[in-house]
Amino acid sequence: MGRAVRNSIVKANGCTAVTPEPMPNGTTATKVDYQGCKPGFPFEWVIFTGDHTPAYADAGSSTPIAGPNFWKFISQFS
Q: Report the number of distinct structural domains present in the chain.
A: 1
Q: Model confidence over 10-37: pLDDT tens digits?
A: 999 999 999 888 888 888 889 999 999 9
For 5, phi then psi, to 5°, come to -65, -45
Q: Model confidence over 39-62: pLDDT tens digits?
A: 999 999 998 887 788 888 888 899
Domain housing 65: 2-75
CB atoms within 10 A of CB 69: 14
Ramachandran category for residue 74: left, alpha or beta (phi over 0 → left; psi -120 to 50 → alpha): alpha
pTM for this predicted structure: 0.80
